[in-house]
Structure 1
Amino acid sequence: MSAREFDIVVFGATGFVGELTARYLADHAPSGVRVALAGRNRAKLEAVRGRLPASAAGWPLLIADADAPSTLDELVARTQVVCTTVGPYLRYGEPLVAAAATAGTDYVDLTGEVPFVRWSIDKFDEVAQASGARIVHSCGFDSEPSDLGVYYLYRAVTAADAGSLTDTTLVVKAMRGGLSGGTIDSMRVIADEVRDPEIRRLMVNPHSLSSGPGEVIRTERGAERSDMTLVSASRVDPSLTGTLAPFFMASHNTRIVRRTNALLDGAYGADFRYAEAMAVGKNPVLSTAAAAALSAGMGAFFGAMALPPARKILDKVLPKPGEGPDEKSRERGYFTMQIFTKTTTGRRFRAQVSATGDPGYKATAMMLGESALTLALERDKLPSRTGVLTPAAAMGDPLIERLQEAGMVFDSVEL
């Protein structure tokens, strides 16, 4: 791999988040890291490179197109890691996964699409294991805070010799930022896909990503808490009050976390259960009303996305692919998440994950950039796993260390 021409290729560099990721690498990649930018249009690539810091002035430009698989084969053969922001992944992502898995090239993306990850497992997990590729999905706000946060909590519980995890819940305590145009476009694609009964079954199955190729675990209703349920905060931990609302990203994040546990051979524990929710206030009455309103709003939004007439109206006001907030807005964003668990010995722990910057833009570019750098530069520290992986299973401690150095906060405490 070290003999390959590039360490990292950013595919989709002309998109909004692609350019942010390229800028992050230009600002933070150590000297000597070999980066190239890839996309369909040379003139647009040149314009992006011209807007980047001087450190990127010599980065090569590669022409590649998701609709021309041979160009992707050529691209992945030249690099250790391909970092892609080209979504929706169900629409555009399959040829690049196929190329990377076959060539033994490590791969990171930003997908929040459960059906795409399931397809990747079924079609290319064994191919990637044979070639030595790490295909790592969901390396942005979907789903690194969740996945790495639970892994960090597990490490703290293990270090304290406190048993294993049981009921574990991530609570979004504070967040400021917007949904990216790419995320909205992924929602459009999923809204179309769920008309297929098999896709609907996949989306509601809490363990749809927890198994290997060709075998989807069928679970009993109630085995895991519904992603759309209102929850009494005190059930999560006695220190909390009020009612918790559903978190709109839970339907993807929870399945990534459960896949990590499966890839770690059930290390989190035989009684591990995982859910996510959002804090909307401490007052029991007001928070219940707010949580109910948020839940109803989410249901109405996803329902409208599935109805063509309603979607046309939403499309006029929602951000489009390639669009995003200005730099001032991106800088004002932040998120804070707390993860609570009770262990098999009865002890209670809490981990916290936080970062500054708009979660879907600045913070995501940082997470994706550091994931690519971890795969490219920390290879001797990485777990030996290959195949279709999660951030925690693929990179674990080395990625957390890099993210901490980049300013993301991970900490834990026994309650």
Structure 2
Amino acid sequence: MSDYDIVVYGATGFVGALVAQHLARNAPDGVRIALAGRSARKLEACNVALGVDWPVIVADASDEEALERMAASARVVVTTVGPYLRYGRALARACAQAGTDYLDLTGEVLFARQSIDDNDETARRTGARIVHSCGFDSIPSDLGVHVLHDRVTADGAGEMTDTTLVVTALRGGFSGGTIDSVRVQADAMRADRQQRRVAASPYSLSPDRRREPDLGRQEDALSLPAAAVDPSLRGTLAPFMMASYNTRVVRRSNALRDWAYGRRFRYREVMSVGTSRLSPLFAAGVKAAMGGLLVGLSVPPTRFVLDRVLPKPGTGPDEQTRRNGHFAMDIFTTTTTGARYAARFRATGDPGYAATAVLLGESALALILDRDDLPATPGGVLTPATGLGDALVRRLRDAGVEVSARALARPADRYT
């Protein structure tokens, strides 16, 4: 028997502390939780701040033996220690080898691909569920498409084809950790042409690229009229920063499910920038800024400047800002029978901090408390939809998150 049900690794960091706080407030009595990180003193201070007396585990990300002991002591390890391409490989491997379930917040294509190659076969043998991207990236995308598929299937409406997630509301701070992940991936792509090819492929996280359907070009940095996605939408849609990662997670879910969403399933993500006359210009500016950020972090002179003005890792907004944040995402699809459906994923709290703490904390509780409701799998490197599925959907709904889907009966039908 494991010593702990859940180990929160990185509990003294900004997001890790929020996840620990969520568990302190919401985990039922009897769930055995430990806090882990590099400093025993800081971990004890975290205990005091939370008003708990949980065990502490000292483990540095570079100490593989300590990580292996920690993995062996737990049923689930939750890690917020990133960038994962720099700090995550050894822990994911240790959990796969120990048969310990693993959750993280990565939005890094290169790390996720690396983990699939390193750990999928081992985790299938040991039964470990290695589930990446259990925060704002990529639970809303992956579970949103999951519930959309369930509704289409229940109605016997065929398979999904063109499917688009639209970020219709977004308020929150910008994560220093996300910027650091972009920075580390830019370094890796600059140094290795193969890594650039991996990052560019729409199927970079798929189990077997050769079995994927040829659906033509699938662009991530899209700018288009909103009505092109659905007649109920108005205004202009701009590129969404995390589309290049989330889309690959959703495509991996489809492939792991033997293309249950459909062999003609095309998926993209965009965000609304309003209905004013200037919104097309704003959308073009968003696209240019996204490309400029990646290029800027790849070139030493601009990197020097950006490193001094962009948010720093381990920092985040104050409590009021976190509390006042929110987001909403609507996902539209057309099926092979011509039917139209929409799903919605909406939550309160700053997306990258408060909401992410709920998403990750409830993911851990689902693995501990809802084993009988989890998707049937021998283990492996999974996605939120294939590793957690309906068990997490129910938990999030109980936590006040809207996760819903419905048919759109008329062309002018609005999803409100």
TM-score band w.r.t. shorter chain:
over 0.9
Residue of structure 2 in register with 1:281 after alignment: 274
Letter in 1 for 2:20: A
Match of 1:396 among 375, 389, 399: 389
Equivalent pairs, count? 406
Alignment check: 8 A CA contact 2:213 2:264 kept: no
Whole-Å separation in 2 of the counterparts to 1:241 and 1:199 = 38
Whole-Å separation in 2 of the counterparts to 1:371 and 1:322 = 22
CA deviation profile, 1:62-97 (whole Å, cap 9, x unmatched): 111111100011111111000000100000001001
What TM-score comes out, normalization by structure 2 length? 0.95
Residue of structure 1 in register with 2:301 after alignment: 309
Alignment check: 8 A CA contact 2:213 2:263 kept: no
* Shift of residue 219, structure 1, vs aligned partner: 7.8
Alignment check: 8 A CA contact 1:134 1:387 kept: yes
3-state SS of 1:107 partner: strand
Distance 1:123 1:217, change over 3 A: farther
Alignment of 1:224-263 (within 5 A): 224-263=217-256
Match of 1:335 among 303, 319, 327: 327
Letter in 2 for 1:172: V
State yes or no: 1:63 paired with 2:61.
Answer: no
Residue of structure 2 in register with 1:175 after alignment: 170
* Shift of residue 224, structure 1, vs aligned partner: 4.4
State yes or no: 1:113 paired with 2:82.
Answer: no
Alignment check: 8 A CA contact 1:230 1:292 kept: yes
* Shift of residue 318, structure 1, vs aligned partner: 1.7
Whole-Å separation in 1 of the counterparts to 2:211 and 2:43 = 43
Residue of structure 1 in register with 2:368 after alignment: 376
CA deviation profile, 1:144-182 (whole Å, cap 9, x unmatched): 000000001111111111111000000000100122221
Alignment check: 8 A CA contact 2:176 2:310 kept: yes
* Shift of residue 336, structure 1, vs aligned partner: 0.5
Whole-Å separation in 2 of the counterparts to 1:75 and 1:308 = 38
Alignment check: 8 A CA contact 1:208 1:217 kept: no
Whole-Å separation in 1 of the counterparts to 2:25 and 2:176 = 24
What RMSD in Å do the two structures reach over aligned CA positions?
1.4
Letter in 1 for 2:39: N
3-state SS of 1:360 partner: helix
Distance 1:216 1:91, change over 3 A: farther
Alignment of 1:4-403 (within 5 A): 4-52=2-50, 54=51, 57-195=52-190, 196-212=192-208, 223-283=216-276, 285-385=277-377, 386-403=379-396
* Shift of residue 242, structure 1, vs aligned partner: 2.7
Whole-Å separation in 2 of the counterparts to 1:211 and 1:185 = 27
Whole-Å separation in 2 of the counterparts to 1:132 and 1:299 = 40
Whole-Å separation in 2 of the counterparts to 1:349 and 1:384 = 26
Whole-Å separation in 2 of the counterparts to 1:309 and 1:362 = 35
CA deviation profile, 1:227-257 (whole Å, cap 9, x unmatched): 1121222221122233210000000000000
Letter in 2 for 1:317: V
CA deviation profile, 1:196-247 (whole Å, cap 9, x unmatched): 11111111100111125xx677886x72431112122222112223321000
Of 145-154 and 380-389, more deviation after overlay is shown by 380-389
CA deviation profile, 1:237-292 (whole Å, cap 9, x unmatched): 12223321000000000000000001111110111000000111134x43211111
Letter in 1 for 2:361: G
Match of 1:409 among 397, 402, 414: 402
Whole-Å separation in 1 of the counterparts to 2:227 and 2:90 = 46
Whole-Å separation in 2 of the counterparts to 1:96 and 1:244 = 38
Distance 1:137 1:316, change over 3 A: same
Gaps of 5+ in 2: 409-416
Whole-Å separation in 1 of the counterparts to 2:210 and 2:61 = 28
CA deviation profile, 1:296-339 (whole Å, cap 9, x unmatched): 12111221111222122222222211111110110010000000
Alignment check: 8 A CA contact 2:10 2:16 kept: yes
Whole-Å separation in 1 of the counterparts to 2:217 and 2:341 = 20
Whole-Å separation in 2 of the counterparts to 1:50 and 1:124 = 36
Whole-Å separation in 1 of the counterparts to 2:330 and 2:213 = 27
Alignment check: 8 A CA contact 2:176 2:316 kept: yes
3-state SS of 2:317 partner: coil
What is the percentage of aligned positions where both structures have the same residue? 57
Whole-Å separation in 2 of the counterparts to 1:328 and 1:63 = 31
Letter in 1 for 2:195: I
CA deviation profile, 1:345-396 (whole Å, cap 9, x unmatched): 1010111110000000000111010111111111122122110000000010
Of 162-171 and 309-318, more deviation after overlay is shown by 309-318
Gaps of 5+ in 1: none
Whole-Å separation in 1 of the counterparts to 2:138 and 2:106 = 9
* Shift of residue 49, structure 1, vs aligned partner: 1.3
Of 352-361 and 298-307, more deviation after overlay is shown by 298-307
What TM-score comes out, normalization by structure 1 length? 0.95
3-state SS of 2:281 partner: helix
